[in-house]
Amino acid sequence: MRPESIRWFERVYVGRIIVSLALGIYGWRWLHSLHAGPALHTFISLRILATATGLLLNLLLLYFIGRRASAVAKWIFVVLAVLMVVPVIQTVIAPNFLPAALKMGPLFGVGLDFTMIMLLFQPDSRDWFARRGVVEEDYVDTFS
């Protein structure tokens, strides 16, 4: 049985993915409304490709952290979350014409990322990663 902090990690992570997809769709619609020409269509195509790649990466990290108790995936998640702080802060403080949702949404996402990092380092989840997700109840049926 997975510890409570890992279950909460998965719930928050799914929420983070939904927020990211909603912001991606909103950003795509906002860019599409600019009618800036063919260069914008190429940019939108790249944005869709980046969103799909990010979704795949997030789903893989969610699986390997939440179900397989991979310490490597946990540290990849932590490093990526910390590295994403700088561009998000640059977006928030930059004097640009982005709508408020596209400035504050990623900042909310960073808050969710650090909530998930906190959940990954709770005592019950640290023990779970140390056991690689295996608990004693998993062996009860095998040897009885």
Domain ranges of the chain: 4-140
Q: For 37-82, what is each residue's pLDDT tens digit?
A: 777 777 778 888 988 999 999 999 999 999 999 999 999 999 999 9
Contact (CB, 8 A) for 24 and 51: yes
Residue 83 CA to residue 101 CA, distance in Å, equals 21
Per-residue burial over 49-64, b if 16 or more Cβ lie within 10 Å, else e, is eebeeeeeebeebbeb
Q: Which two tokens stand for residue 15?
A: 């929420």
pLDDT greater than 80 at residue 144: no
Residues sharing a CB contact under 8 Å with residue 121, sequence separation 6 or more, in sequence order: none
Position 133 scores a pLDDT of 67
Residue 127 CA to residue 116 CA, distance in Å, equals 16
Residue 88 CA to residue 97 CA, distance in Å, equals 15
Cite the beta strand spans of the chain per DSSP E: none
Q: For 84-126, what is each residue's pLDDT tens digit?
A: 999 998 888 888 788 888 888 999 999 999 999 999 999 999 9
| 20-48 mean pLDDT | 81
Residue 82 CA to residue 84 CA, distance in Å, equals 5
Read off φ and ψ for residue 141, nearest 5 degrees.
-70, -25
How much helix, strand and coil, in percent to the nearest 5, is found in the chain?
80, 0, 20
Overall pTM surpassing 0.75 (yes/no): yes
